[in-house]
């Protein structure tokens, strides 16, 4: 047992060109996490199934979901302060539990970040096809837009992390700015008619036969990605201070945004219309925009939602590539996954892999399932891979601070909150695993189970190498 208070650097096993040290600031770390959560796209689309089960109580779901997500953020914040690393959860579990548990975390993280990119690209591409046809009368296949978007993202990620995050920052300012303008319009019109109400924060708004628990689960899943800031632990200046701030900062920004826009959606569409009309509207924010501001602004709202997916894909590939790079650097993946560009200091091997996987996975699935179904399948799959990672990080936090930072151990922050978070994440995982939805979503638990079994099988012959990595 060690009571040392000085941070332990992440283990490295190669002298290959590294990522750029200290080239990013706090704002960059916040941006990548916010972008992965895709605030506009999440609130535009995730609220549709929520409305069917909780009606006008969607804002209440996001308030509760926000609190639950903050419990998980506590562990990432605490561990990133002590172990700033591009490996994020892989490094935390490796140092907190064991190299073998770290390998399994990296194994889950590999498929989670790999599915995250096509998940964002496929629905974005379908939306672009629909918008171009509506605006210009041109029916250009979504596959063209998919390939084009992947190419642009590859070029941005190849060029450098600062350039990529500048693009993400611009897109986030646009999408969130448009949403806030819509919020002001709705508040002004509804407020002038005396329609503002606290009813959406009342559990009594859940319709008969509804399920508040399902609504809360959907809200919690909307926060997945908040931890991406941790992947910039080796490139952010003063990471022991800035990464924990970015984890909580991104969560606060998006949490407030979700609650605000969920309320805007509810009072804008009509409290009494949520469980019926809203739940069956494929583009409810387009409807709200047309009602309060006309067709032009509604089109801008549609564009904001589409760009939100692109921003998320860009951030996912940047963050995911750094996780793969770290696992590869430790010798647990093929050597090319740890390749970095000598000039741009980007993990070009991992970036290339993720972009090629997006093409190889997203296009076939979009063809055989339709883009919307593929989006739902990949999104559910991604969530079920990430939730066990959250649980492992929770447990690692307890053990790391108890065994390696005993003097810093705080019962509430390093024991009570991680235990509560583990119970909640475990319950959400079991609920989502047991009832993922109708086919093809019903096959998601099978895929998850097979991937976990494959990881356990690989663990046995690699156990000696893992222990020495």
Residues in the chain: 469
Q: What is the pLDDT of residue 17?
A: 61
Vertex 358 angle, CA 177 and 251, to 5°: 35
Are 210 and 15 a contacting pair, CB within 8 Å?
no
Whether 469 is covered by a domain: the verdict is no
- Determine the structural domain holding residue 165 and report its residue range: 27-460
Are 188 and 34 a contacting pair, CB within 8 Å?
no
Ranges of residues in the chain whose predicted pLDDT is under 70 = 1-17
Per-residue exposure over 376-408, b if at least 16 CB sit within 10 Å of its own CB, e if not: bbbbbbbbbbbbbbbbbbbbbbbbbbeebbeee
Residue 346 token pair: 């980007």
List the CATH number of the domain containing 432: 1.20.1740.10
Whether 5 is covered by a domain: the verdict is no
Q: What is the pLDDT of residue 437?
A: 83
Tell me which residue of 280, 282, 357 sits closest to 112, measured CA to CA.
357
Whether 261 is covered by a domain: the verdict is yes
Whether 7 is covered by a domain: the verdict is no
pLDDT single digits (tens) 243-290: 999 999 999 999 999 999 999 999 999 999 999 999 999 999 999 999
Whether 18 is covered by a domain: the verdict is no
pLDDT single digits (tens) 53-93: 999 999 999 999 999 999 999 999 999 999 999 999 999 99
Helix (H, G, I), strand (E, B), or coil: what is residue 369?
helix
Helix (H, G, I), strand (E, B), or coil: what is residue 336?
helix
Residue 238 token pair: 């003063």
Whether 328 is covered by a domain: the verdict is yes
Whether 8 is covered by a domain: the verdict is no
Half-sphere exposure of 225 (CA within 13 A, CB side): 34
The total of other beta-carbon atoms located within 10 Å of residue 245's CB is 17
Q: What is the pLDDT of residue 2?
A: 40
Distance of alpha carbon 309 from alpha carbon 372, whole angstroms: 13
Q: What is the pLDDT of residue 12?
A: 40
Whether 1 is covered by a domain: the verdict is no
Instruction: Output the DSSP codes for 436-464.
Output: --STTGGGHHHHHHHHHHHHHHHHHHHHH
Per-residue exposure over 118-131, b if at least 16 CB sit within 10 Å of its own CB, e if not: bbbbbbbbbbbbbb
Per the structure, how many domains does the chain have? 1
Q: What is the pLDDT of residue 6?
A: 41
Tell me which residue of 323, 351, 325 sits closest to 14, measured CA to CA.
325
CA dihedral 263, 266, 267, 270 (to 10 degrees): 180
Helical spans, DSSP H, in 97-160: 99-136, 142-159
Residue 61 token pair: 């779901």
Q: How far is CA 355 from the centre of its chain?
A: 17
Omega of the bond prior to 440 within 30 degrees of 0, cis?
Answer: yes
Q: What is the pTM of this model?
A: 0.92
Tell me which residue of 123, 145, 154 sits closest to 365, measured CA to CA.
123
Give phi and psi for 166, each to the nearest 5.
Answer: -65, -40
Residue 465 token pair: 């190498």
Q: How far is the CA of 10 from the CAs of 48, 49, 90, 161, in angstroms?
A: 42, 41, 10, 21
């Amino acid at each position: 047992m060690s009571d040392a208070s000085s941070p332990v650097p992440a283990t490295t096993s190669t002298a290959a060109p590294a990522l750029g040290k200290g080239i990013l600031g706090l704002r960059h770390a916040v941006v990548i996490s916010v972008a992965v959560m895709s605030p506009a796209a999440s609130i535009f689309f995730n609220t549709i199934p929520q409305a069917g089960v909780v009606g006008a109580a969607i804002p209440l779901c996001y308030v509760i979901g926000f609190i639950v997500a903050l419990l998980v953020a506590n562990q990432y914040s605490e561990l990133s302060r002590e172990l700033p690393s591009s490996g994020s959860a892989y490094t935390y579990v490796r140092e907190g539990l064991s190299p073998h548990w770290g390998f399994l975390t990296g194994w889950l993280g590999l498929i989670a970040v790999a599915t995250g990119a096509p998940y964002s690209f496929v629905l974005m591409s379908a939306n672009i096809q629909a918008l171009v046809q509506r605006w210009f009368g041109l029916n250009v296949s979504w596959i063209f837009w998919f390939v084009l978007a992947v190419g642009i993202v590859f070029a941005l990620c190849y060029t450098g992390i600062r350039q990529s995050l500048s693009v993400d920052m611009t897109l986030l300012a646009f999408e969130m700015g448009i949403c806030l303008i819509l919020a002001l319009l709705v508040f002004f019109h509804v407020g002038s008619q005396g329609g503002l109400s606290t009813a959406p924060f009342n559990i009594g708004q859940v319709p008969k036969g509804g399920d508040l628990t399902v609504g809360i689960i959907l809200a919690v899943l909307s926060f997945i990605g908040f931890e991406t800031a941790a992947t910039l632990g080796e490139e952010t200046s003063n990471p022991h201070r800035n990464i924990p701030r970015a984890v909580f900062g991104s969560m606060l920004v998006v949490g407030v945004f979700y609650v605000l826009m969920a309320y805007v959606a509810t009072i804008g569409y009509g409290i009494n219309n949520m469980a019926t009309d809203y739940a069956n509207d494929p583009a409810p924010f387009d409807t709200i925009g047309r009602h309060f501001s006309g067709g032009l602004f509604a089109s801008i709202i549609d564009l904001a939602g589409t760009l939100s997916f692109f921003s998320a894909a860009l951030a996912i590939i940047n963050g995911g590539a750094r996780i793969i790079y770290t696992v590869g650097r430790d010798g647990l993946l093929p050597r090319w996954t740890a390749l970095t560009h000598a000039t741009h200091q980007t993990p070009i091997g991992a970036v290339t892999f993720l972009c090629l996987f997006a093409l190889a996975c997203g296009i076939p699935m979009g063809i055989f399932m339709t883009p919307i179904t593929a989006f739902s399948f990949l999104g559910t799959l991604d969530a079920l891979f990430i939730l066990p990672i959250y649980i492992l990080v929770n447990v690692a936090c307890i053990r790391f601070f108890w065994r390696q930072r005993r003097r810093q151990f705080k019962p509430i922050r390093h024991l009570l909150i991680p235990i509560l978070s583990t119970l909640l994440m475990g319950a959400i995982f079991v609920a989502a695993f047991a009832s993922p939805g109708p086919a093809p979503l019903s096959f998601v638990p099978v895929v998850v189970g097979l991937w976990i079994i494959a990881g356990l099988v690989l663990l046995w012959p690699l156990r000696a190498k893992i222990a020495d990595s």
